[in-house]
């Protein structure tokens, strides 16, 4: 039977080449070199679902397909053989010589079940074969993969309720739509209390406060519009990224866009401080008044626009739920399920914002006579957002000076506030805050002059840099550093505008236990701050859509797939991942 099967598929391979002659010459590649290599046409990956279940996936390039009947799986461990293999039904393709055959377009997967639990490692030998629609058939492809026992992590310190982006992609594949939307909503709630979302708090509350005396109902409406527009943007941008490979957020993280948005927040802050009034010409104001009498949607459009900008520029944060949804869309083409997952991820992130925004008007109405002080408070928040944005593109020293200048501006605002206060206790508070601000300015200046490595907002606290990276900005240099290493390598995919990248440095890499382990590896920081087409192609090849991401390679230059990390991870979980890397 095996001989007949071999003869059948070898004949099929030969006839595919002959059948190619029936296609018009203009539809075929000019030479065989224009066809993709097997590894490019059929990108294979795997994940461990549990100790007895391994899932193997193939991402198939458009215009290529795999034969369902040519898959073979073999365990090279005689003490742990394969119990069964399950694969989805293929698509029927009619062949004029052999009749109907089952094939897979775009993606294929195999669920491999073992007889016994994984101990540490297991080698699987896999065989598969495919063709190109344009008239080329590949010989059988043989691969051997090493499967490692899955780590068990129960900590929820990650910004995800899943262990990895592949687990979330798998969840979208196997679970119901209602279950997935609920899970991604919960993941969004967890993300709501991270630096990815916190900068949106002063933006939303400042917008509502800037509207003046609006009802609580209008305040709630504006908050919902802001969150809905933010969530829709996440969904639409995610679908575009997954289907086209274009990282919209990375494109908007260039210095010009960030500088412009930061400047706008600075102008808004000065307007809150009453240094000047932002007004349109009288003719435009009169026209706007006439329109607003007919249609009360002007505020809503403004808030919706700010929600879109906030999603794309203020809070770009690559996390495991986001990557999982993007991988699902890219591999299956199902934009409905993936898009809804991203939408509800955004709704989860925005739920606390709705609660906060809807109470802003109520709080302002209680403050009453001190409304101008409220404007000053939101002006300070806008200054903080403005400097926080610029931190992504400026040097440590320059960013530290900006925080120093912000403190000086705060003293000026406090001086203006003191004129509005009559009671002694309020004036004492203002005087104390002013003194603390002067003290902070002195500390910042000292830190900038004497320290080398610090957080911009606290330059007076010297940070110990226990680990040192080799920084590269091109893929050629990256591959060169990996290939010439005689020890395991960790590649840190990094960008200045990536908040979670800085979280990794601040909270994870600074842990003495982590730094001790990392110092046994060769550490490479792949800086894609100024994202190029070359960077985008690398991200696509690695099935990653943006930083942060950590890739581990063994001494032979092969990636340790199970150790890959996308998004922020706390030190405890990070130490567990490092156990997969042989030091």
**pLDDT tens-place string over residues 162-217:** 445 555 556 666 667 787 778 778 877 776 666 566 666 666 666 665 555 666 77
What would the DSSP string read from start to end of 226-274?
HHHHHHHHHHHHHHHHHHH---HHHHH-SHHHHHHHHHHHHHHHHHHTT
Q: What is the pLDDT of residue 153?
A: 37
Bridge-based pairing of strands 42-50 and 53-60 is: antiparallel
* Confidence category of residue 109, pLDDT binned at 50, 70, 90: very high
| Token pair 């908050």 in the structure block, residue | 223
Residue ranges, CATH 3.40.30.10, the chain: 470-578
Q: Which of 473, 528, 478 is nearest to 247 (CA)?
A: 528
H-only helix segments in 90-215: 165-174, 177-191, 200-210
| Number of helices followed by number of strands (H, E) in the chain | 20, 17
pTM over 0.95: no
Q: Where does residue 447 rank: exposed (0-12), middle (13-18), buried (19+ CB within 10 A)?
A: buried
* pLDDT for residue 189: 77
Residue 355 has pLDDT above 80, yes or no: no
Name which residue leads in pLDDT, 129 or 159: 129
Average pLDDT along the chain: 74
Residue identified by tokens 């842990």 is 511
Q: Which of 307, 341, 339, 301 is nearest to 229 (CA)?
A: 307
According to CATH, the topology of domain 2-148 is Immunoglobulin-like (2.60.40)
Whether the predicted pLDDT of 11 surpasses 60: no
Give CA 138 to chain center in angstroms.
36
Strand segments, DSSP code E, in 459-546 are 470-472, 489-494, 522-527
CB 381 within 8 A of CB 230: no
Residues 71 and 127: beta-carbon distance below 8 Å: yes
CATH of domain 470-578: 3.40.30.10
Query: Which residue(s) pair with 123 in the sheet?
Result: 146
Question: Who contacts 412 (Cβ-Cβ below 8 Å, separation ≥6)?
Answer: none
Q: Where in the chain is the domain with CATH 2.60.40.1250?
A: 2-148
Omega prior to 548 cis, within 30 of 0: yes
Summarised one tens digit per residue, pLDDT across range 513-544 is 888 889 889 999 999 888 888 888 888 788 77
SS3 310: helix
Model confidence at 19: pLDDT above 70: no
Sign of the torsion formed by the C-alpha atoms of 337, 339, 345 and 348: negative
Q: Tell me the CA end-to-end span of the chain in Å, nearest whole number.
A: 47
Percent above pLDDT 90 for the chain: 13
Burial class of residue 97 (count of CB atoms within 10 Å of its CB; 0-12, 13-18, 19+): exposed
User: Confidence class of residue 466 from pLDDT cuts 50, 70 and 90?
Assistant: confident
């Amino acid at each position: 039977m095996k001989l007949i099967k071999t003869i059948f598929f070898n004949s099929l391979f030969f006839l595919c080449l002959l059948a190619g002659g029936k296609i018009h010459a203009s539809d075929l590649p000019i030479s065989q070199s224009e066809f993709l290599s097997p590894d490019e046409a059929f990108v294979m990956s795997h994940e461990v679902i549990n100790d007895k279940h391994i899932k193997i996936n193939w991402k198939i390039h458009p215009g290529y397909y795999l034969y369902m009947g040519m898959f073979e799986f073999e365990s090279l461990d005689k003490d742990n053989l394969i119990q069964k293999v399950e694969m989805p039904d293929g698509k029927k393709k009619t062949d004029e010589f052999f009749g109907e055959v089952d094939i897979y377009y775009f993606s294929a997967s195999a669920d491999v079940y073992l007889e016994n639990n994984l101990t540490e490692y297991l080698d699987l030998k896999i065989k598969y074969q495919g063709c190109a629609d344009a008239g080329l058939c590949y010989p059988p492809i043989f691969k051997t993969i090493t499967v490692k026992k899955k780590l068990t992590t129960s900590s929820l310190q990650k910004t995800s309720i899943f262990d990895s982006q592949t687990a979330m992609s798998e969840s979208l594949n196997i679970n119901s739509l209602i279950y997935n939307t609920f899970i991604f909503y919960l993941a969004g709630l967890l993300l709501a209390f991270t630096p990815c979302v916190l900068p949106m708090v002063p933006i939303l509350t400042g917008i509502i406060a800037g509207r003046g005396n609006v009802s609580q109902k209008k305040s709630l409406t504006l908050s919902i519009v802001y969150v809905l527009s933010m969530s829709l943007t996440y969904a639409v941008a995610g679908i575009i990224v997954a289907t086209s490979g274009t990282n919209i957020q990375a494109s908007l993280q260039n210095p010009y866009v960030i500088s412009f948005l930061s400047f706008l927040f600075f102008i808004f802050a000065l307007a809150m401080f009453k240094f000047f009034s932002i007004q349109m010409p009288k003719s435009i104001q009169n026209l706007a008044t006439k329109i607003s009498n007919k249609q009360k949607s002007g505020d809503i459009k403004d808030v919706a626009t700010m929600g879109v900008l906030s999603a794309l520029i203020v809070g770009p944060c690559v996390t495991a739920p986001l990557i999982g949804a993007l991988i699902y869309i890219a591999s299956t083409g199902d934009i409905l399920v993936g898009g809804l997952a991203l939408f509800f991820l955004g709704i989860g992130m925005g739920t606390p914002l709705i609660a906060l925004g809807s109470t802003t008007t109520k709080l302002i109405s209680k403050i009453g006579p001190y409304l101008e002080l409220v404007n000053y408070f939101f002006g300070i928040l806008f200054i903080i957002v403005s400097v926080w944005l610029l931190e992504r593109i400026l040097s440590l020293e320059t960013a530290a000076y900006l925080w120093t200048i912000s403190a000086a501006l705060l003293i000026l605002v406090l001086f203006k506030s003191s004129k509005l206060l009559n009671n002694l206790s309020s004036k004492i508070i203002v005087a104390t805050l002013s003194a603390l601000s002067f003290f902070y300015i002195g500390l910042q200046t000292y830190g900038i002059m004497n320290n080398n490595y610090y957080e911009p907002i606290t330059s007076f606290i010297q940070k110990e840099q226990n680990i040192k990276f080799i920084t590269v900005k091109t893929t050629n240099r990256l591959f060169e550093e990996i290939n010439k290493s005689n020890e395991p390598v960790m590649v840190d995919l990094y960008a200045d505008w990536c908040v979670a990248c800085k979280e990794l440095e601040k909270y994870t890499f600074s842990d003495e236990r982590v730094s001790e382990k990392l110092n046994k590896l060769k550490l490479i920081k792949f800086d894609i701050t100024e994202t190029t087409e070359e960077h985008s192609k690398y991200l696509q090849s690695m099935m990653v859509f943006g930083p942060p991401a950590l890739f581990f390679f063994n001494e032979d230059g092969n990636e340790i797939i199970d150790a890959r990390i996308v998004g922020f991870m706390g030190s405890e979980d990070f130490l567990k991942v490092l156990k997969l890397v042989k030091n």
